[in-house]
């Protein structure tokens, strides 16, 4: 085992090779689910991918296309929009 694989940063999976040997593969762990900045609820519509996979995704696939998409959950977003609308005075 090489030094960089000794830490638990890498997930260890057992694989069977075509030659019927059992080997251990090391893969990066998935990141945590994204949470709302306001209430801490799990955000839907945001994939749990590592940096390289996220970089290759289209911008619209990375977060929901709405105000505060990827930052606030739908409930908190609605409350925030109502607050902003009520603050506007002529």
Determine contact, residues 10/29, Cβ cutoff 8 Å: yes
Q: 3-class secondary structure for 24-41? A: EEEEECCCCCCECCCCCC
Q: What is the pLDDT of residue 37?
A: 95
Whole-angstrom distance, CA of residue 33 vs CA of residue 73: 13
Average of per-residue pLDDT across 1-5: 84
Model's pTM, two decimal places? Answer: 0.69
Question: Does residue 51 sit in helix, strand or coil?
Answer: helix
Measured CA to CA in angstroms, residue 60 lies from 54, 55, 75, 88 at distances of 11, 12, 21, 30
Give pLDDT tens digits for 9-66: 899 999 999 999 999 999 888 999 999 999 999 999 999 998 899 999 998 898 899 9
Q: What is the pLDDT of residue 90?
A: 64
């Amino acid at each position: 085992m090489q030094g960089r694989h000794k830490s638990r940063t890498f997930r260890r999976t057992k694989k069977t090779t075509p030659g019927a040997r059992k080997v251990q593969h090391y893969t990066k762990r998935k990141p945590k689910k994204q949470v709302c900045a306001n209430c801490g609820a799990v955000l839907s519509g945001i994939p749990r991918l590592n940096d390289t996979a996220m970089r290759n995704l289209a911008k619209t696939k990375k977060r929901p296309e709405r105000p505060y998409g990827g930052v606030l959950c739908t409930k908190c977003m609605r409350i925030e929009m109502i607050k902003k609308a009520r603050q506007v005075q002529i």
